[in-house]
Structure 1
Amino acid sequence: MVVVVDPQLAGVAGNMIVGALIGLGAHPDEVVEVMEAAASYFGGVDVKVSDVKRAGIKATYVEVKKASMPNFKYPEFLERIESIDHPLIDDNVISFSRAVFHTIAQAEAKIHGESLDDIHFHEVGASDAVADVFGAAFAYFSLGFDKEKVYSLPVALGGGSTTSAHGRIPIPAPATLEILRGVPIHGGLVEMELATPTGAALLVNIVDEFKNFLPPIRVVEIGYGAGKMDPDFPNILRIIKGTKSLEEDKIVLFETNLDHLSGEIIGNLFDDLIGEGALDVTITPILMKKNRPGHLLRVISKPEDQENILRRIFKETGTLGIRIFPQVHRTILKRDKIPFKVNIKGEWTANFKVAFLDSEIISARIEYEDAKKISSKTGLPLREVMEMAEEQFKNRRW
């Protein structure tokens, strides 16, 4: 299962996340109970969940009315968080909520040039923000999303200016911008605040990876969380739950030019680098500067193997420099190794490398070593053995 948060049209706020998670199946009565219980330690709130329409799209709106505007220093705020006691609020919810508010506190401290101990929580420490964070945390864990890969698309921020505890400030608020440092963002459609500090802090603590485009998935469910305003565009945050049809992993790509090695040494590189954990090794003839013939060595490895492979390349080739393309994304098909009996001058059991797209087999190749063994025993050319075996696998009945 995979989860995708989509704030690219209307941004993100705490109550929008809560609404979208309720739309995906989090129990609304339990979410409201958690929100009101947590906020009671900070002045109290009244929470109402309802179905609304935003530009014609039905969504879940979580209305949170606060009873007061407390002003806590960060250490006192954390003490109150830790003191919350309710049967639905477990350690996971407490720890996650604390992490969200720590994200906000760090941003505020940096903006104002103060230490964490001296930071005062104004709007973001109000009871409605506490309710939003605890409600989102409870819904997130109750849906099991902590065990899933969570992506986010770019965040719409809005524009213009707004009034805060510090007076008139630009949109996005400085805390929001600081929290989203390194995250793909854009202005959005309107001059209004689309992304709040609470929403931004929840987002960066929920999301494992930010992407510019929707990853390839099969959609299972969609939850829509409504914002308070009803402008002429859908003021909604949608969270998509689906399954991935294509797998992704992260690799490191190395390459270097070689113009001084013999064929024997270049050929020996393959076994050495594969032995160090390389996923793939290719060597391509190239023409270098001053028309010198040479070879381009390209090596793919897992990130955890990169240091060993780098050392091996330097040691074996004597090259003076290696180009590194770190954390390259690679989309891969689901793969498996399946044993299958073939009839080639007798019956043999061979392993096939099988690739799946969803549940459909789209590629199957006999393992080289198994094909070589059959070829040796039968006297048939290796090419014929591979063609016959793969044809029999293709026409299998099971």
Structure 2
Amino acid sequence: MNILLIDPQQSGISGDMLLAGLTDVFHAHDQINNFFDKIISFVHNVEAKYTLEKITKKNISGSILKFNIMNDIKKSNVKELLILIDEILDKLSLSEEAQKFVKDVFDLIVTSEASIHGYTITETDKMHFHELNSIDSIIDIVGVAFLIDHCYKWDKPIIGLPVSNGTGAISFSHGEFSLPAPAVTKILEISNYPNFHINVPYELTTVTGIALLSKLVTEQKLIQTLHRKSKTGIGHGQQDIGKRANIINIQLLEIINVDKDKSNVSTDEIVVLESHVDDLSGEILGQIIEEFQTDSNVLDISIYNLIMKKNRPGHCIRILCSRENKHIITEKLIRNTGTLGVRISPVQRHIAIREIQIKKVLLYNKEYEIKIKIAKFGENIVNVKPEFEDLKKLSEKLNKPLKEINDLVISQIKRS
């Protein structure tokens, strides 16, 4: 099985960098350039030329988006721009998943802008995208959807590593603001996407870039299974950021089943961290669970009761992580608990390969889309489970008990 890995740690992410990197890894230059011409032809009174080309910059070979805009989009507000996007999607032969992705990305940008400027999500006629009110944004977002549609699959995993932000300030239509820009910060907050700062005085992560990344990625963690790189793509950014290469690294990874001949399952090596504590309240233990569950370096955490020496009741905190992250997680565990020691044990595990598919289900005479997690051992399906957050949203939307929605969805999955 191949997995797409997006690595924006080097110098953040912008829409054109992601588009260039995907084109590079899929070797889809001719396809995307023809697609650009089609998009431009659907937009009245816009004159622009876009091409994705191979280049070598700072001794790194990759692809870059080159463009020349003679006459850009002239939309007075966000509502008009969203109507234009719907018109373009109606004329393009994109899948339902691709069209939904495009709309979700723009909806995320609208939500962030509305929150920043004090509008409700329905007041699009009062909102302005300013720098995003351009054919550029449409090219980047629709172009990414096209590449996943034609060169990958929407139900296959897309892994995203943490994204870097620059330091300093940026000037745009609303004035001067510290980095990351307000809309980028809001999208990072909404999506809970992991990020960090590096000492580079440039805007590295843009609004379009982080909106695309947060909606495209299905998992935000390091790949723990054994793998090899089958293809690597590099997307170059437009601006020069000093000595640092302004690139995004995108890889197609082939997952290797190291014990395939013996048991037809995948295995890898991880470590178990354990610590016994007897002086932490239930509230603190609950906060520790929450803190480590949201850490992308942690594979799993559990806490269970035990009796310690002198018959004292206590708890064992057990954390699973990769060997590479054991020191970081150990230090974090000591800081959060005050424990005097942590045991570290290397273990081997067998892994069921997980896939996420989008299925249509019929609920109360209406069709809905829901994510389904499929677990496989080798070629055998061992478990099929609906995504809990999707079930929860349907339960709230339909005002029906969660268990009832869950039972209906599972019964339809079993029949399909």
Shorter-chain TM-score: which interval? 0.5 to 0.7
Q: Deviations over 1:168-205 (max 9, x none)?
A: 23221111111112222122242111111001100001
2:97 to 92, 101, 119: 92
Deviation at 1:236, TM superposition (A): 0.8
Task: Give the equivalent residue in structure 2 for 1:113.
Answer: 118
Larger of the two Rg values belongs to structure:
1
Q: Deviations over 1:148-171 (max 9, x none)?
A: 211111111112222222232322
Task: Give the equivalent residue in structure 1 for 2:365.
Answer: none
The whole-number CA distance in structure 1 between the counterparts of 2:204 and 2:217 is: 18
Cα 1:247–1:61, aligned 2, differ >3 Å: closer, same or farther? farther
Cα 1:299–1:35, aligned 2, differ >3 Å: closer, same or farther? same
Cα 1:247–1:47, aligned 2, differ >3 Å: closer, same or farther? farther
Task: Give the equivalent residue in structure 2 for 1:45.
Answer: 48
2:64 to 61, 77, 99: 61
2:12–2:205 Cα contact (<8 Å) kept: yes
1:54–1:233 Cα contact (<8 Å) kept: no
Q: Normalised by the size of structure 1, how large is the TM-score? A: 0.61
1:72–1:122 Cα contact (<8 Å) kept: no
Cα 1:298–1:164, aligned 2, differ >3 Å: closer, same or farther? closer
Bigger shift: residues 90-99 or 233-242: 90-99
Residue-pair matches, total: 278
Q: Normalised by the size of structure 2, how large is the TM-score? A: 0.59
Cα 1:27–1:287, aligned 2, differ >3 Å: closer, same or farther? closer
Query: Gaps spanning 5+ residues in structure 2: where?
Result: 257-265, 269-275, 278-301, 320-346, 354-376, 379-416
Q: Deviations over 1:4-32 (max 9, x none)?
A: 11000111011111111111225223212
3-state secondary structure, aligned to 2:43: helix
Task: Give the equivalent residue in structure 1 for 2:158.
Answer: 150
2:159–2:218 Cα contact (<8 Å) kept: yes
Cα 1:296–1:218, aligned 2, differ >3 Å: closer, same or farther? same
Percentage of identical aligned residues: 25
- Cα RMSD for the two superposed structures: 3.5
Cα 1:6–1:283, aligned 2, differ >3 Å: closer, same or farther? closer
2:135 to 120, 124, 127: 127
Q: Deviations over 1:331-383 (max 9, x none)?
A: 842479xxxxxxxxxxxxxxxxxx99xxxxxxxxxxxxxxxxxxxxxxxxxxx
Cα 1:180–1:64, aligned 2, differ >3 Å: closer, same or farther? farther
Aligned amino acid, residue 106 of structure 1: T
Aligned amino acid, residue 72 of structure 2: S
Q: Deviations over 1:41-60 (max 9, x none)?
A: 27343102211223211010
3-state secondary structure, aligned to 2:26: coil
Counterparts of 1:124-273 in structure 2, within 5 Å, are 124-181=132-189, 182-211=192-221, 213=222, 215-216=224-225, 217-230=227-240, 231-245=242-256
Cα 1:285–1:152, aligned 2, differ >3 Å: closer, same or farther? closer
The whole-number CA distance in structure 2 between the counterparts of 1:17 and 1:41 is: 23
The whole-number CA distance in structure 2 between the counterparts of 1:156 and 1:68 is: 30
The whole-number CA distance in structure 1 between the counterparts of 2:16 and 2:77 is: 24
Aligned amino acid, residue 27 of structure 1: A
Query: Gaps spanning 5+ residues in structure 1: where?
Result: 249-255, 258-280, 301-329, 337-354, 357-398
Aligned amino acid, residue 287 of structure 1: M
The whole-number CA distance in structure 2 between the counterparts of 1:200 and 1:292 is: 52
The whole-number CA distance in structure 2 between the counterparts of 1:206 and 1:108 is: 20
Aligned amino acid, residue 137 of structure 2: A
The whole-number CA distance in structure 2 between the counterparts of 1:87 and 1:49 is: 20
Task: Give the equivalent residue in structure 1 for 2:401.
Answer: none
Cα 1:75–1:26, aligned 2, differ >3 Å: closer, same or farther? farther
2:95–2:149 Cα contact (<8 Å) kept: no
